[in-house]
Structure 1
Amino acid sequence: MYAQSWQRLLDQAGPAGAMSLASAGPAGGGRKDAGAGGELKHSAKPWSDAAGTAHALQTDTATAKAKLTSAHAGAEAGTAGLASMAALKSVLTSWEKRLTAVHSECGALEPVLRQTAWAQGEVDTGVKSALAQFSAPAGKGR
């Protein structure tokens, strides 16, 4: 039915009826740290923080690459034919590729993380609005 590795994990988890989200705690009880009434809490802050870190890494890798390239400028003058210069050039090229890859990845990741933080807030607002009709006192809004 499942691949052997998945089946082992499912067997360790126990019967399907006994499974629950780790954050939900025992049936209907909720976790102590989940908030009043066992509700799950989340925040846009971790997503926004991650986006800020991605932005900082993007900036820092661009700065590092510029400094690295500048530090190697003119290094070849008078060293033609030295094996160490060829090795140094190879290392420079390798680091430039790595820094460019990190810069590009962070540039692509930052807006996605910011969008996730925003979308979470929009979903929260929509859910609260949709559920408000059910929490209104009898005879008001129902």
Structure 2
Amino acid sequence: MTDAPIPQQNKEAHIRLASASSGGGDVHKASVRPWTTASGVAGELHQGMDSAVRDLGHAHDGIKSGTAGFASAAALSGILGGWEARLGAVRDSCKHLDGALKETGVKFGENEAAVKASFEGAGTKSKIDDYSRAR
């Protein structure tokens, strides 16, 4: 990201709301959508991992009774525990991310609306315009 050059006569920072942007190249655009999209993906991954852990467990049902005495049964049991732990950790992380990203999106949207409203209310816009003209 490169910073746009600041005119010599005015070295103050310029702030624009993403929702007020007209598409200029020097304006950072942001929206709630990426947060909610990422939340949805994390939620889908959580559900997929939850299914995978259950399916893995069901796939090993009855192995001990049918393979009693074989060394491979003990090895499979150890492998099962390792995979359940790994997939369970991924599942739990995805669940956490789903909630955290969703919450961030909501807060981002609320903040954006509040900032926009603060600029629109109580004559702030005219004060900003007056200040801009004085420069």
TM-score range (shorter-chain normalised) is 0.7 to 0.9
What is the rounded CA distance, in whole Å, between the counterparts of 1:57 and 1:37 in structure 2?
35
CA contact (8 A) 2:4 2:26 kept: no
Name the CA shift for 1:95/1:37 in 2 (closer, same or farther; >3 Å).
Answer: closer
The higher-RCO structure (CA 8 Å, 6+ apart) is 2
Shift of 1:77: 2.0
What is the rounded CA distance, in whole Å, between the counterparts of 2:66 and 2:124 in structure 1?
80
Report the TM-score, using the length of structure 2 for normalisation: 0.73
Gaps of 5+ in 1: 1-21
1:78 aligns with 2:66: yes
CA deviations on 1:47-106 (whole Å, 9 max, x unpaired) are 111111111111111111111111110112232222211111111111111121112112
1:101 aligns with 2:89: yes
Name 2:42's counterpart in structure 1.
54
Shift of 1:135: 2.1
Name 1:28's counterpart in structure 2.
6
Gaps of 5+ in 2: 8-13, 15-21, 131-135
Where do residues 1-142 of structure 1 align in structure 2 (5 Å cutoff)? 22=1, 25-28=3-6, 35-36=23-24, 38-132=26-120, 133-136=123-126
Report the TM-score, using the length of structure 1 for normalisation: 0.69
Give RMSD over aligned pairs: 2.6
